Amino acid sequence: MIRITQLKLPVNHGREDIKNKAAKILRISPAAIRSVKIVKQSVDARKKENILFIYTVDVETGKEEQLVKKAGNSQIQMACEERYRFPMAAEKNISCSPVIVGSGPAGLFCGLMLAQAGYEPLILERGDDVDTRREKVDKFWREGILDENSNVQFGEGGAGTFSDGKLNTLVKDPGKRNQKVLEILVEHGADPKILYVSKPHIGTDVLCQVVKNIRQHITELGGRVRFNAHVTDLMILDGRIAGVVVGGKETIPSRHVVLAIGHSSRDTFSMLCKKEIPMAAKAFAVGLRVQHPQAMINEAQYGPKHWDILGPAAYKVTWQSSAGRGVYSFCMCPGGYVVDASSEAGHLAVNGMSNHDRGGRNANSALIVTVTPGDFPGRSPLAGVEFQRRLEQAAYEQGGGKIPLQLYGDFKAGRVTRELGDVGPEIKGRYEFADLRKVLPEYLSVPFIEAMEQFEHRIGGFARYDAILAGIESRTSSPVRIHRDESLQSSVRGLYPCGEGAGYAGGITSAAMDGLRVSEEIVRNGQTGD
């Protein structure tokens, strides 16, 4: 196979145009090309009058090495496709199943790989299966009735299920785990385009079915998944994990326990702290969700044409404030919704979500400001959790239990919004006008406003008066890191902190990749070794 990079075509091209352009670059007839596989597709919108798709493609034809040598062009090389390799255990002595706590991306992918290797894992999920979970979440959004164990944060698929389903990651990937994660998602129902588009996403509606398909595959392979199974304690013997306790009374023995608990598992963090599992508070970021008309973002990013082909536009903005705090967009959802993502009574947090078609009227993203352990109350490993809780309690109180909403112009002026402008809210959950300056502390509100005004220079209308703010966005990443060594184990041997909640991932893909890494280590270590 010959790999061609930087193959550029206009927006309105067809599939045959890719083949013809590849033939032109190789100086051969299109009829001589047997197949063309898209490896990567991205958009170059720097010149809005001439937006281009840029491809990397693999081409199958005759005399490939001769063609590459003749071309003498760095754009044309022989394809060398490396594949993910899962380690095989030298000896598999299964005395009791590995236990995985949590069925988010980290837990599901770890469980799938162990099941495929014949290890018959047991996944324990505190929340419901995804169908029951969706019913409870919809009821919460309509009526405000919260199930603290099954909500936007907890349940099959984890917090990522109710999000945009973005799959981009900045994690270095020499082991090709990223590609493996995407392949697994496609095998279980995701759009095959995620294998090559530059900013892949699935969407909540599709992701719900995908995670269910992965769970069913695990069970077909001999694994087990239990819902409403809240792990409340660990059994530790002579410095090694011996099992877990479910619901305060049921004991399940295991020599390998994976903590894929998610970043909202505050009661689990507290239990781990009491068990003296080594962990520490870590930096993260907090802020507010901002909504703009999607058409405005499309115009700013692409110009007036080709929206039907390019789809809803995304953006990414960053700013270093005069106070030295970083401010940046996070979890940007084109054509999406702001959702009530609360998981604790008397506390309120928001997130962003979109379906596969990204068909909502608004674009939204979190604009978040960095915070460090120096901002947290006290020096406990759980100080970041307490910091989050204070903000979420303030948001709950300001909104009267509903999502507190404010126009940006009113937020900047320090007054409560009385009526909406031209931007209509796209929100899942109940909302109420409130003063978000009483939610986001002033030392964070000032950098937020400063950044909004700077982003106006990059995206016209970004700081418009009637842009809608909602808060608080506090669950951007885990407030703790549970320490682990090079074998990915805690000082308690056989205990594997994993994924986003443990502080080792920052989204669906990186969490799933970490799940793969942990499954690899369990296989390498064997069921009886360290």
Chain segment 131-179, per-residue pLDDT in tens: 999 999 999 999 999 999 999 999 999 998 998 777 877 777 888 999 9
Burial of 320 (0-12, 13-18, 19+ CB in 10 A): middle
pLDDT 10s digit of each residue in the chain, 530 long? Answer: 999 999 999 999 999 999 999 999 999 999 999 999 999 999 999 999 999 999 999 999 988 998 998 888 889 999 987 899 998 765 655 678 999 999 999 999 999 999 999 999 999 999 999 999 999 999 999 999 999 999 999 999 999 899 877 787 777 788 899 999 999 999 999 999 999 999 899 999 999 999 999 999 999 999 999 999 999 999 999 999 999 999 999 999 999 999 999 999 999 999 999 999 999 999 999 999 999 999 999 999 999 989 999 999 999 999 999 999 999 999 999 999 999 999 999 999 999 999 999 999 999 999 999 999 999 999 999 999 999 999 999 999 999 999 999 999 999 999 999 999 999 999 999 999 999 999 999 999 999 999 999 999 999 999 999 999 999 999 999 999 999 999 999 999 999 999 999 999 989 999 999 999 999 999 987 644 44
Instruction: Tell me which H or E stretch contains 6.
Output: strand 2-10
SS3 track for 334-371: CCCEEEECCCCCCCCCEEEECCCCCCCCEEEEEEEEEE
Give me the half-sphere count of Cα atoms (radius 13 Å) on the Cβ side of residue 378: 9
Domain ranges of the chain: 2-78, 99-279+482-525, 283-473
**Whole-number Å distance between alpha carbons of 225 and 103:** 8
Burial of 353 (0-12, 13-18, 19+ CB in 10 A): buried
The structure tokens listed for 75 are 């754009």
Q: List the CATH code of the domain at 2-78.
A: 3.30.70.2700
Give 85-104 pLDDT, tens digit per residue. Answer: 998 765 655 678 999 999 99
Q: List the CATH code of the domain at 99-279+482-525.
A: 3.50.50.60
SS3 track for 281-319: ECCEEEEEEEEEEHHHHHHHHHCCCCHHHHCCCCCCCEE
